[in-house]
Chains A and B, each alone.
Chain A
Amino acid sequence: MSQIKKKNQEFVDVNQPVDSTLPNQNFGYWKSLKDISSSEDYDKFLKQSDHNEDTNISRRNFMSLIAASVALAGLEGCKKPVQKIIPYVEAKRNTIPGIPKYYSTTMPFKNNAFGLVVENHDGRPIKIEGNALHSITGGKSNVYVQSSTLNMYDPDRARGVKLKGKKIEWTKYLESIQSLKDNVDSKVAILSGESSSLSVKKIKKDFLKKFPNSSWTIYEPISNENVLLGIEAAFGKKYQPIYNFDKAQIVLSVGSDFLGVDDNSIYNTRTFSSKRNLENENSEMNRLYVAESSMSVTGSSADHRLNIRASEYHNLLVELAHELKQLGMKIEVNAKKSTNNLWIKTVAEDLYVNRKKCIVIGGDSLGAESHELIATINFLLGSNIDYYPSENTSSISDLQVLCKKIKNKEVDTLFILGANPVYDAPADLDFGNLIDLVPNTVHLSNYYDETSKKCDWHIAESHYLETWGDACSIDGYLSIIQPQIQPLFNSKNLINVLSLLVYGEDISSYEFVKNNWKEILASSNFNRSWEKVLHDGFYAKQYVSPVKISRKSSKSYSSQNVQNQDSFELVFTPSPTVYDGRFSNNGWLQELPKPISHLTWDNAAFISLKLAKELKVRNGQLLRIKSSDSIIEIPVWILPGQNSKTITVELGYGREFSGRIGSGVGFNVYPLRKTDTMHLISGIEMEVLNKNYPLAGTQDHYGLEEDHKAAPGFSSLSSDAIQSRIPEIVKQTTLDEYKKHPDFVIDAVKEHLPDKKRSLADHSMYNPEKEYDYSKGPQWGMSIDLTSCTGCNACSIACQSENNIPVVGKQQVMNGREMHWIRIDNYFSGDPDNPEVSTQSVACVHCELAPCEQVCPVAATTHSTDGVNQMTYNRCLGTRYCANNCPYKVRKFNFYNYTRDLPEVVQMAMNPDVSVRFRGVMEKCTYCYQRVTEARITANKENRDIIDGEIKVACQQSCPADAIKFGDINDPNSEVSKAKKRNRDYALLGQLGTSPRTTYLAKIRNQNPKLVSSHSTKGHH
């Protein structure tokens, strides 16, 4: 005993920080154990475990003490949740090391809630999947969900409590609240982000009741406030719309990226893609029209896309209403005809014919008036939209009121809970300076960020995986957030921070949430219902139901005067990776090639090819953008499909905080954003600077741009080659052509077969059929549907999380060494201003006759008997020959030891089922073989075959479009076999005879014959 105690004391001494007042980033998480569990933690742990005073050790105590020491030394499982949580999938009584447990929880995202299942290895949440039972996620996820584990294991997160930058005890904070809590006249203001939590709503209600002079403001830099205001104008009240794309035949999106960056993108993509899952040529398929100024994920999935200025969205809608009126819709409208009349008229006809089976959706950047018109059109068309009561939503006007109050010194104490207004509030409010006028400020946030520096108190905020809470999805289902691990960094949540103030006592969030739910569940046997909710992750009864709406007034809508056709406008858009900046310290997200632009580690001013030629700029050249008194400098990035008069910039970059990943990455564009120009600035001034900034894009060639480095006079050489390859690589046609020639894919592939009598394998010197019997046992294969794939990137980041794929940094990406196992290729064809996009996700296709296997000098890449091309990392000596000989170029090489310097906290995020690769070895997609093996072991133990659907590979599991199917191709009834039997099935580069196991389903565009012009390029043969 004394020995152990001595050892423990030594440990504490050795790891004692020299100066405990040092800021967090100097805590040295890189180097040693102390970083993960500070000495205070450890002391506390020793006290908690109560063993030190226990001189009379029982066997049980001794074992647990040893276990604790070992666990702490190994940094594994040292922080298990204290409260009881119920396993989601398998209810085992004892933890078996190495066997993960699955728990349900919820990721709150603004006003929405994503129901999740977390794979928990020995007390560490490792991998997140959607909860198949949850109404929003339905088992699927997006990039924010997938990357959120890394957010928690972020060594740069704030920790503990700070007063004016110095570390201080949590109890000191509670003491400081004591005086405040008794003075009900105190002028307290709270500023928070959106939250759907019932507990937060209850605190808010009680807080406002207790302190009548106080206020609670909600602000989100990216919000759908205009949508709600428009709906309020149309229907009299703010309602949250839920779009049921699974019922809509025709969808028109005006500036909305509902499949890409949207609070509800998982649900949208799920429902939208369910109408694109074509069994054969007779299947029904929806049609998507998109009018937008910058190519988005939604625009790239469109059947017809119209490239218009963002400032013309309103007039387009008015013109649409006018055309609908012509067709018989009862709406008062006064429209001017535009040059896009044919397009609008066709859309109107399509919508009108498909009444009650259509949706018109507008983007957040449209004004309230436009949304009012959209709501009216939707109402009159009987669109498939449900409206849910909406409260506690972000409001700019409320924020303005708060700022006014601060200016008038009407706020004594300001709590900023989870928000970062110094960075992201509208620039004209000058929040950074206003905040100094408040005598006492408290900031709760997960990073010591721009706002924290300005506040007196700073409290580290718990990640949703570390804390108890609840949330409500926008379609009215309540769910529970249950912790997967104890807070890593002494962090607190909103309930902890406010409970003493509001209720006079420090209530644990567990008790608070549970007590709240007693009212909701209101069941005779609360504990049982509560456990069921914990098990399922949500409450199966809808808490809020959709409302019946009615039109408030029959207002007349008319076109607006667009000022100055020649002036340039600037559109703000959330970043598809770091969103509004909240995820900027997440390496997975920073390095994720953004959809369409394939840019990593930066934002840029997206400009059109035409404008680039006009301004004579190239990618990376700096542009100075001026709007009234604000100026930013930002590099340009040329994007096909961008409107020539619209410059699009992504929010969320140029952060100044102590994050080693996100600090200083990209360019802060918030300084241009004012309360009246939250989405769009018209009439900006631009100046091209003679300076360059290196940008890291992962795809050099889209297929439309000129190749400046080619021999003089041959700048179109590569684009021409790409254009000729697109129909070959991404086989595609229109729905009408598909109906006429259902076998177009098969016919095209036939041309490439070397000899019709013999199989491809006969042409190889190395006939795999002689070596392996592929007709026996499960043989794994995959099918990817290019029609339903939107290119949202969820698969790529799910793969990164599952397979411990390292982040290599901007410089390495610029050198072409990004490690993603799944690459999403985009090809553009047709009109550079409004191209057709062909999106294709490419990972290792597991060729049966793999070219990589033949050339490896040491047989480090070989075939398994179940048809998987495997990498033996510890045999690989890194000649890279396999990568050269891979026709798909999907192999990734560890040029450096990317994982050696991983902070220990980040090491905790690694999946223990997958090797962490070292320097000098090749890696690539394994078909998530660890999952295959796990299923095989389970099946063997139960003496049965693996059931179809038992194995879901990470990309398949995350894909909200359900475009990826995986399974046994020898089983004729498996999902994948059925997919491969469809007449759209083809092998990418099949003519090489490598017999890939991953095949693609050709892309079908449901084009309206009325809009198909002769010059438009079609991929059919």
Chain B
Amino acid sequence: MQKSDYKSRALVNAEQLLPGNQTFTSITNDIAGVPEQKKTPIQWWLLFGLALSLLGVFAGSLGYLIWEGTGIWGINMPVAWGWAIINFVWWVGIGHAGTLISAILHLFRQNWRNAINRFAETMTLFAVICALVFPGIHIGRIWVAYWFFPLPNQMGMWPNFRSPLIWDFFAVFTYFTVSLLFWYTGLIPDLATLRDRAKTSLRKKVYGFFALGWRGGNRQWQHYELAYLVLAGISTPLVLSVHSVVSSDFATSVIPGWHTTIFPPYFVAGAIYSGFGMVMTLSIIARKVYNLGHIITLEHLDKMAQIMLLTGCMVGYAYAMEFFVAWYSGNPYESFAFVNRALGPYWWGYWAMIFCNVVVPQFFWFTKYRRHIPFLFITSILVNIGMWFERFVIVVITLHRDFLPGAWAMYSPTIWDVAIYLGTFGLFFTGFLLFLRFLPMVSIAEAKLVLPESNPHHGDDH
């Protein structure tokens, strides 16, 4: 009974996730064909040009920042953290979906993830790189940023391990390292495929070098699967820990609006939410540009929309809970911090957040909207705008009015805040487009797993 269910579900899965009469060959041809294209599509060049120019903006504004100092930004006293920290949290958050998709869904054997996991993992890598830029550059003396590292020195100066920024630093670096390993491990069989199909010796050598001598033998697959499983196991707690640690930057402080225990789960939910938003945006673009509608299907998008609905409701609940707890605490400073978010001078930021993060995903209760690609595309972008505003609300609105009204002040960003933020998109998309051009954007080996041929049991009972 159960077995036949499993079998039929596998067939149904294959039909839904990879429609049409797909075979191993057709999948390999379709996916590996993209990096093997002789002629780069014009859309790619257009996007790459745009990304490169944004990268130029990034380099320019970074240079100016290093030359002049953080004074070029809009930060002040009391709002000593501004866009840099907002962007940091935002980019780290985006990364989370990648790990969730690759690791947790892998552990739960959610094969539908196989079409999007490579994508999501790559997105994680570049998002974390973008995020890691900010702690380094937002400090006053960029040239001593290495003091974050616990480097032995003759003065015995050590980082302050009580500081959440140090926890943060370790958390994000661990996250980056594990994500990179995970991504690379997943790539090895595909790199071997590309090596084997290579027409030029350069391609053969480069792909061959990175394929680490993969032959696709049984023992290799056995070790590989185990290594992948272990890495998935290591990555899984990171999904929860990284953003929890990031949230402790705020939660361990004494500032009303930051000093709250709800932050870790709330940050994790928000991170997954924004990450799925970003995966959605990117995959809709990629399937359009490369005609991969049969590999990244509506079913995938539908499932992602469901997760977004779930996490969107979770953050919505967190927003409501924050208010409740502020009121319930009877602490006037706490209450004011939250009332000021919703009704103070930055009320538009708060309501932008509520609209994008809580109102918009409610449409995903309906299948029609979950499968409506333009709607999904706009929504996925709105979700990330909303999540950016969430961090704006937390960082700026909290700081601008805390305990002593004599120290209250307003904050407004400068052109350089905007330039660096846009610049990180340059960094992100330059990397991502290079990935699309030279590496298989969908895991060839794993995409085949959903085909009935991958299940060699054929009704046998063992």
CB of A919 within 8 Å of the partner chain: yes
Q: What DSSP secondary structure best describes chain A's contact surface?
A: loop
CB of B215 within 8 Å of the partner chain: no
CB of A597 within 8 Å of the partner chain: no
Are B406 and A825 neighbours in the complex by a CB distance under 8 Å?
yes
CB of A644 within 8 Å of the partner chain: no
Are B409 and A855 neighbours in the complex by a CB distance under 8 Å?
no
Are A883 and B80 neighbours in the complex by a CB distance under 8 Å?
yes
Are A877 and B140 neighbours in the complex by a CB distance under 8 Å?
yes
Are A858 and B140 neighbours in the complex by a CB distance under 8 Å?
no
Are A879 and B138 neighbours in the complex by a CB distance under 8 Å?
yes
CB of A893 within 8 Å of the partner chain: yes
Task: Select which of A722, A859, A878, A992 is within 8 A of B70 by beta carbon.
Answer: A878
Contacts of B249 in A (CB 8 A): 881
Are A710 and B80 neighbours in the complex by a CB distance under 8 Å?
no
Report the bound CA distance from A700 to B408 in whole Å.
7
Are A816 and B77 neighbours in the complex by a CB distance under 8 Å?
yes
Are B78 and A856 neighbours in the complex by a CB distance under 8 Å?
no
Which residues of A (673-728) have their CB < 8 Å from a CB of B? 699-701, 703, 707, 709-711, 714, 717-718, 721-722, 724-725
- A699 and B255 contact, Cβ closer than 8 Å, known pairs A711-B342, A879-B165: no
Are A897 and B165 neighbours in the complex by a CB distance under 8 Å?
no
Which residues of A (868-887) have their CB < 8 Å from a CB of B? 875-881, 883-885, 887
Contacts of B336 in A (CB 8 A): 721
B 436-448 binary contact with A (CB < 8 Å = 1; else 0): 0000000000000
CB nearest neighbor in B for A812: B71
Segment of B119-127, B144-152, B178-186 in the binding face? B144-152
Are A888 and B407 neighbours in the complex by a CB distance under 8 Å?
yes
Closest Cβ of chain A to B347, distance in Å, is: 4
CB of B320 within 8 Å of the partner chain: no
Closest Cβ of chain B to A821, distance in Å, is: 12
Which residues of B (63-92) have their CB < 8 Å from a CB of A? 68-71, 74-81
Are B157 and A875 neighbours in the complex by a CB distance under 8 Å?
yes
The contact size tier of chain B is 35 or more
CB of A775 within 8 Å of the partner chain: no
Are A703 and B253 neighbours in the complex by a CB distance under 8 Å?
no
Report the bound CA distance from A895 to B345 in whole Å.
25
- A855 and B252 contact, Cβ closer than 8 Å, known pairs A714-B343, A896-B71: yes
Task: Select which of B140, B253, B345, B399 is within 8 A of A710 by beta carbon.
Answer: B345
- A826 and B160 contact, Cβ closer than 8 Å, known pairs A855-B253, A896-B71, A992-B254: no
Are A895 and B69 neighbours in the complex by a CB distance under 8 Å?
yes
Task: Select which of B163, B340, B406 is within 8 A of A840 by beta carbon.
Answer: B406
CB of A842 within 8 Å of the partner chain: yes
Are B145 and A877 neighbours in the complex by a CB distance under 8 Å?
yes
Contacts of A699 in B (CB 8 A): 406
CB of A164 within 8 Å of the partner chain: no
- A889 and B407 contact, Cβ closer than 8 Å, known pairs A884-B81, A884-B255: yes
CB of B300 within 8 Å of the partner chain: no
Closest Cβ of chain A to B153, distance in Å, is: 12
Task: Select which of B158, B253, B347, B404 is within 8 A of A851 by beta carbon.
Answer: B253
Are A711 and B140 neighbours in the complex by a CB distance under 8 Å?
no
Are A827 and B157 neighbours in the complex by a CB distance under 8 Å?
no
Are A884 and B399 neighbours in the complex by a CB distance under 8 Å?
yes
Contacts of A896 in B (CB 8 A): 68-69, 71
CB of A276 within 8 Å of the partner chain: no
Report the bound CA distance from A919 to B70 in whole Å.
9
CB of A921 within 8 Å of the partner chain: yes
Report the bound CA distance from A919 to B402 in whole Å.
26
Are B406 and A725 neighbours in the complex by a CB distance under 8 Å?
no
Are B343 and A711 neighbours in the complex by a CB distance under 8 Å?
yes
CB of A532 within 8 Å of the partner chain: no
Report the bound CA distance from A906 to B260 in whole Å.
47
Which residues of A (844-877) have their CB < 8 Å from a CB of B? 851, 854-859, 875-877
Are A718 and B344 neighbours in the complex by a CB distance under 8 Å?
yes
Contacts of A879 in B (CB 8 A): 138-140, 165
Closest Cβ of chain B to A45, distance in Å, is: 39
Report the bound CA distance from A443 to B97 in whole Å.
76
Closest Cβ of chain B to A844, distance in Å, is: 13
Are B140 and A878 neighbours in the complex by a CB distance under 8 Å?
yes
Report the bound CA distance from A856 to B162 in whole Å.
8
Closest Cβ of chain A to B124, distance in Å, is: 25
CB of B33 within 8 Å of the partner chain: no
Are B406 and A826 neighbours in the complex by a CB distance under 8 Å?
yes
CB of A830 within 8 Å of the partner chain: no
Report the bound CA distance from A893 to B347 in whole Å.
28
Total A-B pairs, Cβ < 8 A? 190
Number of chain A residues close to chain B: CB under 8 A: 63
Are B71 and A895 neighbours in the complex by a CB distance under 8 Å?
yes
Which residues of A (929-958) have their CB < 8 Å from a CB of B? none
Contacts of A817 in B (CB 8 A): 71, 76-77
CB of A894 within 8 Å of the partner chain: yes
Contacts of A876 in B (CB 8 A): 140-141
Report the bound CA distance from A896 to B72 in whole Å.
8
CB nearest neighbor in B for A892: B77
CB of A989 within 8 Å of the partner chain: yes
Report the bound CA distance from A879 to B80 in whole Å.
9
- A989 and B76 contact, Cβ closer than 8 Å, known pairs A920-B140, A921-B141: no
Residue among B142, B147, B249 with max Cβ neighbours from chain A (10 Å) = B147
Contacts of B407 in A (CB 8 A): 823, 825, 842, 888-890
Are B76 and A877 neighbours in the complex by a CB distance under 8 Å?
no
- A855 and B340 contact, Cβ closer than 8 Å, known pairs A700-B410, A703-B405, A920-B141: no
CB nearest neighbor in A for B253: A885
Residue among B148, B401, B403 with max Cβ neighbours from chain A (10 Å) = B403
CB nearest neighbor in A for B70: A895
CB of A577 within 8 Å of the partner chain: no
Which residues of B (151-201) have their CB < 8 Å from a CB of A? 157-160, 162-166, 169
Are A895 and B75 neighbours in the complex by a CB distance under 8 Å?
yes
Contacts of A314 in B (CB 8 A): none
- A827 and B405 contact, Cβ closer than 8 Å, known pairs A710-B344, A815-B76, A920-B69: yes
CB of B332 within 8 Å of the partner chain: yes
Closest Cβ of chain B to A789, distance in Å, is: 14
Residue among B148, B252, B254 with max Cβ neighbours from chain A (10 Å) = B254
Report the bound CA distance from A503 to B394 in whole Å.
76
CB of B434 within 8 Å of the partner chain: no
- A725 and B344 contact, Cβ closer than 8 Å, known pairs A877-B140, A920-B139: no
Task: Select which of B140, B163, B254, B342 is within 8 A of A880 by beta carbon.
Answer: B140
CB nearest neighbor in B for A598: B406
Closest Cβ of chain A to B259, distance in Å, is: 10
Closest Cβ of chain A to B165, distance in Å, is: 4
Which residues of B (336-356) have their CB < 8 Å from a CB of A? 336, 339-340, 342-345, 347
Task: Select which of A766, A826, A890, A893 is within 8 A of B80 by beta carbon.
Answer: A893
Are B406 and A823 neighbours in the complex by a CB distance under 8 Å?
yes
Residue among A856, A897, A922 with max Cβ neighbours from chain B (10 Å) = A856
Contacts of B401 in A (CB 8 A): 718
CB of A127 within 8 Å of the partner chain: no
Task: Select which of A711, A856, A919 is within 8 A of B160 by beta carbon.
Answer: A856
Contacts of A146 in B (CB 8 A): none
Sample (23) of A-B pairs whose CB atoms are under 8 Å apart: A703-B405, A709-B410, A817-B77, A823-B407, A842-B406, A851-B253, A854-B162, A855-B162, A855-B253, A857-B147, A857-B160, A876-B140, A877-B147, A879-B165, A880-B80, A884-B253, A885-B253, A885-B255, A889-B403, A891-B77, A897-B69, A920-B69, A992-B254
- Interchain residue pairs A-B with the least CB separation, the first 10: A878-B140, A920-B140, A825-B406, A816-B76, A895-B71, A709-B345, A889-B407, A880-B80, A711-B347, A920-B141
Residues of B within 8 A of A (CB): 68-71, 74-81, 138-142, 144-145, 147-148, 157-160, 162-166, 169, 249, 252-255, 332, 336, 339-340, 342-345, 347, 399, 401-411
- With A855-B164, A889-B407 given, name 10 new contacts (CB 8 A): A701-B405, A703-B405, A714-B347, A717-B344, A823-B406, A880-B140, A881-B163, A887-B403, A894-B140, A989-B403
